[in-house]
Amino acid sequence: MKARPTPEGGVALIKSFEKLRLKRYQDPAGLPTIGWGHLIVASDEVDGKLERITADRADELLRADLGRAERKVCARVHNPDELADEQYGALVSLVFNVGRMGDQLRRTINLGRFEEVPDVLRRYCKLRDPETGALVVSKGLLRRREAEIALWNSAKETEP
């Protein structure tokens, strides 16, 4: 499936939260991460443990990760090309961060209930505490969801 590319506003939002980190680190959920929020998987380390990358490699990983998020959004939304760039960018940012689009968000969008999307997005603000295993509200995820909501809502301001 050919996915719609992420508009610049969506990429900028993702980069503003991920920050460029050329050395391996643990994200707030304790997962190994590098570059622009790229989760390190086994296939990344076939030639040894991935500890450092260049900025160019980070950009390559970002493009690949964006492609996966774009395909997921396009697979779940009936008419992704009918979304405003701001709406699509907000959804790609969510899926880039969370890894999926839940059924309630999919249904809300596919039923055209766009005014309800902000409330649904706010539900994606928990992460699993690596020490306790409990789901806890993350202030960082709350900030990110509010930024995605602001991007989503900005589509209303730019429509004719």
* Nearest Cα residue to 114 out of 71, 159, 68: 159
Q: Which helix (H) or strand (E) holds 159?
A: none
Catalytic residue chosen out of the listed positions 8, 18, 45, 119: 18
Q: Which helix (H) or strand (E) holds 33?
A: strand 32-35
Catalytic residue chosen out of the listed positions 8, 27, 56, 157: 27
| Cα distance between residue 98 and residue 82, in whole Å | 23
Q: State phi, psi for 106 to the nearest 5 degrees.
A: -60, -50
User: Kindly report the CA angle at 87 between 85 and 91, in degrees rounded to 5?
Assistant: 115
Helix axes 8-18, 139-158, angle to 10 degrees: 160
38-39 and 135-137: which strand pairing? unpaired
* Nearest Cα residue to 154 out of 104, 122, 102, 118: 118
Query: Is 44 a known active-site residue?
Result: no
Query: Is 148 a known active-site residue?
Result: no
Could you give the residue numbers annotated as active site?
18, 27
